[in-house]
Amino acid sequence: MADIFEEVEEGLRQDRAAKLWKRYGVFAYLAAALLIGGVALNEYLQARNAEEVEAGALRFETGLDELSEQDWASASATLEALTKEDREISPLAANYLAQARLEGGEDVAGAIAALEQAANTETPIGKASLLKAAYLKSATMSRAELETYLGALADDESGFGALATELLAAASAAEGDYLKARQDFNYLAVSHAFATSAVKDRARAALAAIPRAPAGAQEAPADEAVSAETAATPDTETEPGAGAADGEPQE
């Protein structure tokens, strides 16, 4: 008797399962289809992205080959197309495009425009692009204008910051502000933590060529380990018994 009851219950369970599957089975098919479709779509997108990256890299190499062969027109066209696309390689292509425009036709304005496409202060290639553009614009900009253009790059704790400071120092010298120029070059020659040996050598050469500050102006000699801020700060301390200001008795 127990076996009969079990067979009846099993039949009821199967009947209920059949009705449930008939009613909701379509959702199981949809779920399976979505899962399979999602996997397939992800693989397709990954493959497509890899193909696009490879295609972009090949075009970039083509542009570099054209650049090395001094085919300026072709190199400019190839590299310019890459700069207009949202690719990781686009900022680098902009730098080589600037080179092609400069070497191919001395197109300074076009080179600056290419560099400014990639210029920012967030990535190394962006910082390099901004600095290159500033060098190209420096002949027509004052120190104040260069400071605004460079933004925070001169204070950047990197080699880019040292190069930006060097450019600003040169602008000061060109304007005849020798005190400020020597302070900046002193800072680069002695105290700047990220100045390379080449930058330090250029700073020392500049210090040897730039006239010294007028009498009474504070300036640190290049062979003393002081910062630009120290060089710019006058010494206000007096020794005991030193003379006071004219017309005033000593205390």
Q: Is residue 186 part of a domain?
A: no
Domain coverage including residue 58 = 27-118
Q: Is residue 17 part of a domain?
A: no
Identify the pLDDT of residue 200.
94
Instruction: Say whether 195 sits in a helix, a strand or coil.
Output: coil
> Mean pLDDT in runs of 10 for the chain (251 residues)?
47 58 54 55 55 81 92 94 88 93 92 93 90 93 95 92 94 94 95 93 94 62 42 39 39 37
For 191, the token pair is 């105290």
Identify the pLDDT of residue 56.
83
Q: Is residue 61 part of a domain?
A: yes
Max Cα–Cα distance, the chain, nearest Å: 131
Q: Is residue 213 part of a domain?
A: no
For 41, the token pair is 């779509």
Identify the pLDDT of residue 55.
80
Q: Is residue 92 part of a domain?
A: yes
Q: Is residue 164 part of a domain?
A: no
Q: Is residue 37 part of a domain?
A: yes
Q: How far apart are CA 90 and CA 67, in angstroms?
A: 16
Identify the pLDDT of residue 54.
79
Identify the pLDDT of residue 28.
55
Q: What is the mean pLDDT of the chain?
A: 77
Q: How far apart are CA 202 and CA 3, in angstroms?
A: 101
Q: How far apart are CA 94 and CA 114, in angstroms?
A: 5
Q: Is residue 56 part of a domain?
A: yes
**pLDDT tens, 11-25?**
555 666 666 555 555
Q: How far apart are CA 216 and CA 176, in angstroms?
A: 18
User: pTM here?
Assistant: 0.65
Identify the pLDDT of residue 35.
57
**pLDDT tens, 150-162?**
999 989 999 999 9
**How many domains would you assign to the chain?**
1
Q: How far apart are CA 220 and CA 188, in angstroms?
A: 12
Identify the pLDDT of residue 246.
40
Identify the pLDDT of residue 11.
53
